[in-house]
Amino acid sequence: MLSNFRSFAQSPLALVIIVLLVLAFAISLPGAGGIFTGSGDAVVVVGPERVSQRELATAFDREVARLQEQDPSITRALARQEGLASQVLQQQITLAAFAARAQDLGLEASNATIVRDVADIPAFRNPVTDRFDRDTMVAALRRSGMTEDQFARDIESDILRSQLLGTLASFSGIPDQIAATRYLVAEEQRRVTGLVIDASTADEIADPTDEELQTFIEETPGANGEPLFTRPEFRAITLVRFRIEDFIRDVAIDEATLRETYDYEVETNRLGTPALRSFAQLTTSDQATAEDAAARLANGETPAAVASALGLDAPLVQDSVQLFEVPDSQLGETVFAMAEGEAQAVEGRFSWSAVLVTLAEDATVPSFEEERERLQADAATAQATDNMYEAIAAFESARADGASLEAAAEQTGTPLEMYPPLALNSIDEDLQFDGERYQGLAPEILPAAFDQIEGFATNLETYNETDFYTLRVDSIIPSRPFELEEVREQAEARWRSIQVDTQLQARAEDALAQLEAGDDMEIVSLTTGGRTETSTLKRGQTAGAFTRNAVSAAFSIEPGSYDMLQVGEGRYVVFTVNEIIPGEIASAPAADLDGIATDIAGELGNDVIFATREFLLRDYGITDESIDQRLYSLAIGETDSSTPR
C-alpha cells in the first residue's frame, strides 16, 4: 500500500491533479487564504509579521510538554480544555505585534549581537568544556524540531523585540521621594498587645446525650449543603473496557515495515522539515530585461522600485513555499538552488523572470535510527488500535445478538470487571480509599455510572482519549445519614469543638466590650481567662497569635482602639495598637533605596508594556475575526485534516 502511494505521488497524473486542486482552491474560494493570496499558513497576520500554524503548534506542544514534566497525567485535550491553547496564541500574537513594530521602526540586530546571544545559551555549551559548541547546538535544535535558519530568525526577532521592549520599559531617574515613601511604609512598625483566648482556658464541656449527638448528626450542614455526617450513595457495577495499553503488549512490528514507513514519510515531506523559499518574482518579456532587473535587485533596489523603473507588472511574492507549490517547475528548480539574498535572471517554462530570494531554508531529515523509537511506537499503536477495534466489533456483534455483558465477554475473550459498591470518589462501603482504583475509575467512569439507571448496560463510550468502556449498574445503595454508633467518636469530637469555639467567641466578645469600656487588659485577662502577648511588627511579619490577618488588621486601626479576630480553630485574639514606630529615611541603606527604585521602575515598565500591547493590537486591527480558526484548530490538534471523517 505504501509503495502504491509513493508511485502515484510521483506520477505525471498526480502532479496534474495536485496543480488543478491548488488552482481550484485559489480561484474558487473568495477571500480564502492560500499560497497565492491571503495569509497562507498564517493563523494570524500582525502587520508585517505572521504567526504560522507550525509556529503555534510548536509553541503549544512546548507548553504541554513543560506541564507534563510536572504532571504526567496532563493531556493535550486537557490542556486545551483548561485554556492553554488560547494563552499560547495570545502570547504568540503579542510577540508578533512587538516584532512587527520593531520592524516598522527599522530596528536591526547586528551579527555580533546574535553570535553573542547564541553563545550564551546553556543548552549550546559542551558539557565537558563548558564552552559554546556548534555540534551541541545543532543536536539541541534537532531535538526541539528546529532548523538553524529557523532558530536564527527566532533569535533575531527576540533581539529586536528586546530592543523595543527595553526602550519602552526603561525608567531611569525614579524620584527619590517615591522610593523613600515606599521604604518608610515598609519599615513602619507597630507595637501590638493582644489578649489571646484559646481552648486551653475553656471551661469543661459536659458529655452530650445520645439525643443531642443524633440531632447534631442529622442537622449539622456540610460544605455541599447535605448533612455533615452523611453516608454517600454506593453503586456496584459490571465493567468492560477496551484499552490500547492492553492490546499493545502483544504487538510486534518487523524492521521492513518500519523502514518502509520511514521512507514514505521522507518522500512525502512528513518527516523533518521541508525546504522552503520566499522570493519576489518580476516577469519580463526578454532575457536582457530580466538580467537588468536582477542586477538592480542585487544592488539593493526593492522589487516594487525595479518594477516601476522598468515598467513591469507588480512583483509576485511567494512566502515560505515548498518546491511543489511553485507553479512553474523550471523556475522553481532554479529558485530552490539559490541562496538567501541572491538575485538572478531565470528562464522559466513560459517567460524570463528576475528573482530575489528573501528566505532560504534547506530541508532537514532525521536519520532512521533517530526516528526508530517513534516509528516503533506509532506502528505498534496503530496495530494495537486495529486489533482493539476488531475486538470491539466482535464484542458489539455479540451484544447485538442479545448477549449480556457477561455472555459477550465470554464469547469474545474480553476481560470482565466486577466492582462491589463504590461511592462517586471510589471509596468502598468500609470507607476505604484505593488510589489506583480512583485513578482507573473516578475521573470518567464512575461519574457515568452515577448517571445510569440500574440494570441496563450503556452504549460503548470513549474515555481517556483512546479507550472505550461499557458498564451496567448492578445495585444502588442510597445515601443516608450515618447512624450514631457508626460515627459517634467523630461526631462527638466535632460537637465538642463547636461548643468550645462558641464559648471562646463569647468570651472574646465580652473581653472586647470591657476593653472598649476602658478596663485594663491585664484585669480583663483575669476575668475572661486568657493571656496577653506583645510584639513589635512590620507589615507582613507574624509572631505568636498575631497571624498575617491580625497584623494586617493592626495596621488599619488607630492607636488605642481595639479589634477582635479568630486566628485559628478555638483561638481568638483581642488586640490594640500601643505605638506606631515610623521608619527613618536617614538610616536607610542606599542599596535598599536603589532596589526599591528598580522595583518601581520595573512595575512602571510592565504597565507601559501592557498598555503598548493593547495599543499595537488596536493599531494593527487584531480582533477575534483576525484569527484563522481552521489553522488554529489544526495547530492545537483539535482537528486533523488528514483524518477522514
Q: What is the structure's pLDDT at 464?
A: 83
pLDDT at 201: 84
Q: Read off the pLDDT band of 621 (50, 70, 90).
A: very high
Mean local confidence (pLDDT), 582-606: 85
Q: How confident is the model at residue 153 (pLDDT cuts 50, 70, 90)?
A: low
Say yes or no to pLDDT of 134 above 80: no
481 pLDDT band, cuts 50/70/90, is confident
Q: What is the DSSP string of 537-560?
A: EETT--BTTB-HHHHHHHTTS-TT
Per-residue confidence band for 149, with pLDDT thresholds at 50, 70 and 90? low
- Among 572, 424, 438, 451, smallest CA distance to 502 is for 572
Query: What is the rounded CA–CA span in Å between residue 324 and residue 16?
Result: 11
Looking at the chain, the domain(s) classified CATH 1.10.4030.10 span 39-187+582-645
Structure letter (DSSP) for residue 227: B
Other C-beta atoms lying within 10 Å of the C-beta of residue 113 = 15
Q: What CA–CA distances, in Å, run from 338 to 306, 334, 343, 374, 518?
A: 20, 7, 8, 34, 93
Q: Give domain 39-187+582-645's CATH architecture.
A: Orthogonal Bundle (1.10)
Q: Which residue has the cell 513594530?
A: 101
124 CB-side CA count, 13 A = 15
- 58 against 73, higher pLDDT: 58
User: Residue 553 pLDDT > 70, yes or no?
Assistant: yes
What pLDDT, on the 0 to 100 scale, is given for residue 168? 61
For residues 550 and 172, which has the higher predicted lDDT (pLDDT)? 550
What's the CA gap between 233 and 44, in Å, rounded? 51
CA distance 269 to 43: 21
pLDDT in tens, 284-307: 999 999 999 999 999 999 999 999
pLDDT digits (tens, 9 = 90+) for 386-408: 999 999 999 999 999 999 999 99
**Mean pLDDT over residues 637-641, rounded?**
60
- 573 vs 518, 562, 631, CA distance in Å? 17, 10, 60
Mean pLDDT of 350-359: 93
Average pLDDT over residues 572-596: 91
Q: How is residue 459 annotated by DSSP?
A: P
Task: State the Rg of the chain over Cα.
Answer: 36
Residue whose cell numbers read 467518636: 489
Answer with the residue of higher pLDDT: 336 or 108: 336
356 membership: H or E segment, kind and range: strand 352-361
**Residue 2 pLDDT class (50, 70, 90 cuts):** very low
Rounded Cα distance between 190 and 535, Å, is 8
What does the pLDDT read at residue 460? 93
Residue 524 DSSP code:
H
Mean local confidence (pLDDT), 122-137: 75
The 10 Å CB-count burial string (b at 16+, else e) for 275-304 is ebbbbbbbbbeeeebbebbbebbeeebebe
Q: Determine how many CB atoms are found less than 10 A away from the CB of residue 245.
A: 10
| Contact criterion met (CB below 8 Å) for 480 and 231 | yes
Average pLDDT over residues 502-514: 94
CATH number for 233-253+368-478 (one of 2.60.40, 3.10.50, 3.30.70, 1.25.40): it is: 3.10.50
CA angle, residues 28, 29, 33, in degrees to nearest 5: 130
DSSP states of 11-64 as a string?
Answer: SHHHHHHHHHHHHHHHHHSTT---SSSTTTTEEEEETTEEEEHHHHHHHHHHHH
Question: φ and ψ at 440, to 5 degrees?
Answer: -80, -25
Per-residue pLDDT, 21:
33
Res. 334 pLDDT band, cuts 50 70 90: very high
Q: Given a cut of 70, is residue 645 above it in pLDDT?
A: no
Rounded CA-CA distance 331/280 in Å is: 12
252-284: per-residue pLDDT in tens?
Answer: 888 888 888 888 888 777 777 888 999 999 999
Residues composing the chain: 645
Q: Tell me if residue 190 falls in helix, strand or coil.
A: strand
Residue range(s) of every CATH 3.10.50 domain in the chain:
233-253+368-478, 275-361
What's residue 306's pLDDT? 94
For residue 170, what pLDDT is reported?
A: 63
400-426 mean pLDDT = 94
pLDDT-derived band at 377, boundaries 50, 70, 90: confident
Q: Would the pLDDT of 19 be above 50?
A: no
Residues 6+ apart with CB under 8 A from 263: 2, 6
Other Cβ atoms less than 10 A from the Cβ of 157: the count is: 19
Yes or no: say if 605 and 169 are a contact pair by the CB < 8 Å rule.
yes
Residue 22 pLDDT more than 70?
no
Roughly what angle, to the nearest 10 degrees, separates helices 521-528 and 484-516? Answer: 150
For 390, the 3-state DSSP assignment is: helix
CATH class of 275-361: alpha beta
- SS3 of 232-297: CCEEEEEEEEECHHHHHCCCCCCHHHHHHHHHHHHHCCCCCECCEEEEEEEEECCHHHHHHHHHHH
Q: Which residue has 453503586 as its cell numbers?
A: 235
Which pLDDT belongs to residue 644? 33
What DSSP element (H or E) covers 476? strand 467-477
What gap in Å lies between CA 573 and CA 588, rounded to an integer?
A: 34
Closest CA to 537 of 567, 577, 584, 596: 577
Q: For residues 195 and 133, is the Cβ–Cβ distance under 8 A?
A: no
Task: Flag whether pLDDT at 640 surpasses 70.
Answer: no
Do 584 and 188 touch, CB atoms closer than 8 A? no
pLDDT value at residue 523: 93
Q: Which of 93-97, 145-149, 221-225, 418-422 has the highest mean pLDDT?
A: 418-422
Helices (H), 105-204: 111-119, 134-143, 148-169, 176-187
Average pLDDT of the chain, as a whole number: 84
Q: What is the pLDDT of residue 62?
A: 84
More confident residue, 31 or 462: 462
Q: What is the pLDDT of residue 273?
A: 82
Mean pLDDT of 233-242: 95
What pLDDT, on the 0 to 100 scale, is given for residue 482? 87
Q: pLDDT at position 325, please?
A: 86
pLDDT in tens, 103-119: 888 776 666 666 777 77
- Rounded to 5 degrees, φ, ψ at 237 are -135, 155
